[in-house]
């Protein structure tokens, strides 16, 4: 029988003392994940393009005793990401966890969408994931201690939708990228790479869908066995699990995190 160590079980969900880099930290989910890593005892390094919002988050988190910092960067720009990794390592010495929570969409029918608009979504949601994970992978390999990467994609990575040729394609690409990264990085370097695929959760952009009397909301509930739409906090458990030793045998997966959207 394979033994299970008591101390492993008692600590397997811990990210205490780890350094967690969070992209899209200014967003609805990114800021919740960043704070959750902090509450769980990790050192949190946040990034996004909005200096003012990042500074406000840093102030808020520090007031709660969270050890954190930030660096302004566009995840789709290689030079920005290079500088971001250096800034995080200069502050904390290493990176153990990467959470990718930035993203963008501008729904448009393909007949009205310019190639430039499509490319912008692809850069924001797919090319940026490649650049960020690649640069963090180099850093984690150099550290020689493995690591954990969690990429937030979408249930739209698996199915099409009108006006979503950019978003679905980029999220689908990111999900498959995660599986390829696992093949490159897990066995040899101990770096687990997984994505979580939410359905709709509350953000500035989706708030309008949460009116319980609206047809949109009622329609969604027909596809949500859980009986409600998501909140950013609903994804904290999965992100912490995929960032901790409890998920050491999980890599390359595109995790359903949808309230049962797939089963109906
Ligand atoms: N909300 C949902 O219902 C839902 C459902 C499924 C999947 N998702 C995915 O979950 C992730 C987080 O979503 P969210 O609702 O928290 O998003 P959000 O509130 O809109 O925030 C996303 C963050 O991404 C950054 N961002 C925006 N445009 C960008 C661009 N062109 N290039 C790089 N970064 C950009 C922004 O930060 P800065 O301006 O500071 O850079 C923003 O704060 C995204 O990947 C999203 O696609 C969301």
pTM over 0.85: yes
Tokens of 71: 């660096």
Would you say the CB of residue 75 lies under 6 angstroms from ligand 1? yes
231 or 220: which leads in pLDDT:
231
Q: Distance of CA 129 to CAs 60, 80, 186, 231, 236, Å?
A: 27, 13, 17, 23, 20
pLDDT over 90 (residue 262) = no
pLDDT over 80 (residue 182) = yes
> What confidence score (pLDDT) does residue 41 get?
98
Mutate to test the pocket of ligand 1, among 22, 23, 24 (most ligand atoms within 8 A of CB): 24
DSSP output for 214-246: SHHHHHHHTT-TTSS-B-GGGGHHHHHHHHSGG
Q: Distance from the CA of 102 to the center of ligand 1, in angstroms?
A: 4
Phi, psi dihedral angles at 104 (to 5 degrees)? -155, 145
Closest CA to 247 of 133, 148, 146: 148
Catalytic hit among 70, 135, 167, 261:
167
Closest CA to 200 of 257, 124, 127: 257
d(CA 74, CA 50): 9
| Cα angle: 59, vertex 65, 70; to 5 degrees | 45
* Tens digits of residue pLDDT in 104-135: 999 999 999 999 999 999 999 999 999 999 99
Mutate to test the pocket of ligand 1, among 22, 25, 26, 27 (most ligand atoms within 8 A of CB): 27
Annotated active-site residue 70? The verdict is no
* Tens digits of residue pLDDT in 13-65: 999 999 999 999 999 999 999 999 999 999 999 999 999 999 999 999 999 99
**In CATH terms, is domain 6-256 a member of 3.40.50.720?**
yes
Running DSSP on this structure, what letter comes out for residue 62? H
- Looking at residues 75-98, what average pLDDT do you find? 98
Would you say the CB of residue 56 lies under 6 angstroms from ligand 1? no
Would you say the CB of residue 34 lies under 6 angstroms from ligand 1? no
* Tens digits of residue pLDDT in 223-259: 899 999 999 999 999 999 999 999 999 999 999 999 9
Would you say the CB of residue 198 lies under 6 angstroms from ligand 1? yes
Q: Distance from the CA of 24 to the center of ligand 1, in angstroms?
A: 6
* Tens digits of residue pLDDT in 129-160: 999 999 999 999 999 999 999 999 999 999 99
Ligand 1 atom closest to the CA of 53, numbered from 1: 40
Closest CA to 117 of 133, 106, 103: 106
Confidence of residue 220 (pLDDT cuts 50, 70, 90): confident
């Amino acid at each position: 029988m394979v033994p299970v160590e008591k101390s492993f079980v008692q600590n397997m969900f811990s990210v205490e003392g780890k350094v967690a880099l969070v992209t899209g930290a200014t967003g609805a989910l990114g800021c919740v994940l960043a704070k959750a890593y902090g509450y769980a005892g990790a050192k949190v390094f946040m990034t996004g393009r909005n200096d003012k919002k990042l500074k406000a988050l840093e102030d808020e988190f520090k007031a709660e005793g969270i050890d954190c910092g930030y660096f302004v960067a566009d995840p789709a720009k290689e030079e920005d990401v290079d500088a971001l990794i250096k800034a995080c390592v200069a502050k904390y010495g290493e990176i153990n966890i990467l959470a990718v929570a930035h993203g963008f969409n501008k729904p448009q029918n393909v007949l009205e969408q310019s190639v430039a608009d499509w490319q912008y979504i692809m850069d924001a949601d797919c090319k940026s994931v490649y650049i960020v994970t690649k640069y963090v992978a180099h850093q984690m390999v150099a550290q020689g201690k493995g690591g954990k990467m969690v990429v937030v994609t979408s249930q739209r990575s698996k199915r099409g939708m009108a006006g979503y040729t950019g978003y679905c394609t980029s999220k689908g690409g990111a999900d498959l990228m995660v599986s390829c990264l696992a093949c490159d990085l897990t066995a040899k370097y101990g770096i687990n790479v997984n994505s979580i695929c939410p359905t709709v959760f509350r953000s500035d952009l989706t708030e309008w869908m949460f009116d319980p009397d609206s047809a949109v909301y009622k329609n969604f509930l027909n596809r949500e066995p859980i009986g409600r739409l998501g909140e950013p906090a609903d994804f904290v458990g999965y992100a912490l699990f995929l960032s901790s030793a409890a998920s050491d045998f999980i890599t390359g997966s595109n995790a359903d995190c949808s309230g049962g959207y797939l089963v109906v």
